[in-house]
Structures are given as structure tokens and as C-alpha cells.
Amino acid sequence: ISICRDLPNIEVITFSVNGISDLEPLHQCQNLSELYLRKNNITSLNELFYLKNLPRLRVLWLSENPCCGSDPHRYRMTVLRNLPSLQKLDNQAVTEEELSQALVDGEEITGPPARRSVENGCPEAAESSAAEATVETESELLSFSLEETNKIREELGMKPVPRDKFSSFSPRETDCNRKKRNNVLNAILLLMKELDAEGLEIVQQTVGRRLQDLHKKELQEE
């Protein structure tokens, strides 16, 4: 998610199922309108502090994070009190009545969360027990990541990735390495949206050379 610090003009971010716990890198994304963070490791609603000054944010999907807690009403009211410009929260439309009620039932967030010692990415052993409760099976992870990636590719006017190609990531990789690889792929696709024609041509030439090198290496190994 730290890549977002270098993408101030990004409009749509999809980082679901990625072990993300810190939203601070998003606070400069002033053009952000849609943010998908389902099934991560966001433990505190105080992370919303970093989204409060994003004027164009209209869609937020935050469900199935630890911060949602056991009281769905309090959770939704708190989010809407702090982000009253939202039009859709967790795939459910926001109503005027909810926004009014949020002023009564929601909790105002006035500062960032306390800093944690664990960096974004792979949780340390101390958090493993909590993480295990929400771990996806490999098939579910790949299916969801494929859906998210293809949504980004569609927005960029690119063809969707076939499942057989996307699932070619080695099953012997740890969940952490697989998530990092998917993060890199999504980050590259997002960055491409920022490029002009000349920049895209450079990327195309670089990718072509890289593919040729990989094919040569595979032939040599055979």
C-alpha cells in the first residue's frame, strides 16, 4: 500500500485480501473516489482519520476487517459520521437518514491510531492466531485476487487475465510471497494508468525484452 504515496492522482484502489493494517499512505490521494479494502487486518476505526480529508471518496468497502467489531450498527454509524460524503459503504447505499443518525450514534475520530510495531504485509507470530481466523483457502485467495485484478485491467482497457494464467503462481510459495507478488502486479497496473503514450511504449518495449530473456533462459534450462 506504500506505493500509493507516489500516486496522488489515483482514483480507484483495490487492495482486498492483502494483510493491510495501516491506511496512512492514502492520505495524499486527493482524487481517490473508490477504495476496496475487504478482508484485511485493519484493527482500529481510527485508521479512518487518514481518509477524512479525501474530498472525492464516494465508495468504501471495509467489511470483514477486525475494526468492524461485533456491533455492525455502531461500526457503520462511526464510518458515516467521519466520512459523510460516502455514497456506498460495504456495497450498500448510504441514505440521508443514516447520515443524520450517524451524528448521534457514531463516534467522532479526531486523531490517528497509536503506532503499531508490525509493518504492513505479513503479520508477525504474535498476530498469527488472529490472522488464522480469517485466512482464505488458496483457491478463494486466487479467485478473489483474479476478480480484483481483472477489474483494474478492464478500467485500463486491457483484456482480462485467464484463470489458468493467473493461478500459475507456484503453490509452493508462502501466502505472504503470493500476496506480495499480487500486490506488485496490481501496483504496476495502477501505475500504468498514470502513463502517457510515450511512457506506455517504453513499458511495452521493456516487457518485450524481458519476455525474450525469460524465454531464452527457459530454452537453455531445457
User: pLDDT for 75-126, tens place per residue?
Assistant: 999 999 999 999 999 989 999 999 999 999 999 999 888 765 444 444 444 4
Q: With respect to residue 80, please indicate whether it lies within any of the assigned structural domains.
A: yes
Q: With respect to residue 68, please indicate whether it lies within any of the assigned structural domains.
A: yes
Contact 190, 152 (CB under 8 A): yes
Q: With respect to residue 60, please indicate whether it lies within any of the assigned structural domains.
A: yes
Number of domains in the chain: 1
- What is the grid cell recorded at 124? 508477525
Q: With respect to residue 217, please indicate whether it lies within any of the assigned structural domains.
A: no
Q: What is the pLDDT of residue 182?
A: 67
Which value, to the nearest 10 degrees, does the dihedral of the CA atoms of residues 146, 149, 150, 152 take?
Answer: 160
Q: With respect to residue 81, please indicate whether it lies within any of the assigned structural domains.
A: yes
CATH code at 33? 3.80.10.10
Predicted TM-score (pTM) of the model is 0.56
> Which structural domain range is residue 78 located in?
2-105
> Which helix H or strand E contains 161, and what residues bound it?
none
Give pLDDT < 50 ranges for the chain. 117-138, 167-173
Q: With respect to residue 144, please indicate whether it lies within any of the assigned structural domains.
A: no
Q: What is the pLDDT of residue 176?
A: 58
For 89, the 3-state DSSP assignment is strand
Q: With respect to residue 72, please indicate whether it lies within any of the assigned structural domains.
A: yes
Q: With respect to residue 90, please indicate whether it lies within any of the assigned structural domains.
A: yes
For 132, the 3-state DSSP assignment is helix
Q: What is the DSSP letter of 17?
A: S
